[in-house]
Amino acid sequence: MKKILIVGAGGQIGSELVPYLRGIYGANNVVATDVRECKGLAEEGPFEVLDALNPTNMASAVARHNIDTIFNLVALLSAVGERNPQMAWNINMNALFNSLEVARQHNCAVFTPSSIGAFGPTSPKDMTPQDTIMQPTTIYGICKVTGELLSNYYHQKYGIDTRSIRFPGIISNKT
């Protein structure tokens, strides 16, 4: 049975994904974490307050729960990121880097979402190929492109099973 750790579980994707995965794999096999308490997620299964910028604490949670898959959903989106690009880079990239490093050390798979924000005004608008020009104009988009490349590096260099999908804009009725 899969044992999944979801970092950034209280956000737009996690608030919907955690209950869905708990329905498939069982509540005790999906450990939700966030930098702050999330009562709804904590009432339905295991939940821990966890700062994804602390790799030691993340590795401890992975070991304690026998995790085999990490979902890194940590993201500072464009609205806030454009006001503080240094903070956006730190949060978005270091949470992913820590997830990949912990996965390497503990033999886990990693999923991290990407976004159409990875594209830019010079990307083809119709029938956009997978590999195309990507010149985003926001720090969020720049982080998503970099995250795709970093995940690919970890797959090529260390054999880590890394997956991603470029989501369109997402709106959650829970967050």
Q: Is 140 noted as a catalytic residue in this protein?
A: yes
pLDDT score, position 124 = 82
> Cβ distance 118 to 171 under 8 Å?
no
Its pTM stands at 0.93
Residue 33 scores a pLDDT above 60: yes
Phi/psi for 122 (5° steps) reads: -95, -5
Q: Mean pLDDT across the chain, nearest whole number?
A: 93
Nearest in space to 138 (alpha carbons), one of 71, 73, 74, 92: 92
Domain boundaries defined on the chain = 4-77+93-114+147-167
Question: CB under 8 Å, gap of 24 or more: what pairs does 133-139 form?
Answer: 138/78, 138/81, 138/82, 139/78, 139/81, 139/82, 139/85, 139/88, 139/89
Selecting among 140, 153, 154, 158, the annotated active-site residue is 140
Lowest mean pLDDT among 15-29, 74-88, 143-157: 74-88
Most confident of 36-45, 120-129, 156-165: 156-165
Using the Cα atoms of residue 15, residue 72, residue 32 and residue 1 in order, give the sign of their dihedral: positive
Please report, for residues 94, 164, 170, the alpha-carbon distance to residue 16 in angstroms, rounded to integers and kept in the order given. Answer: 24, 17, 11
The CATH code belonging to domain 4-77+93-114+147-167 is 3.40.50.720
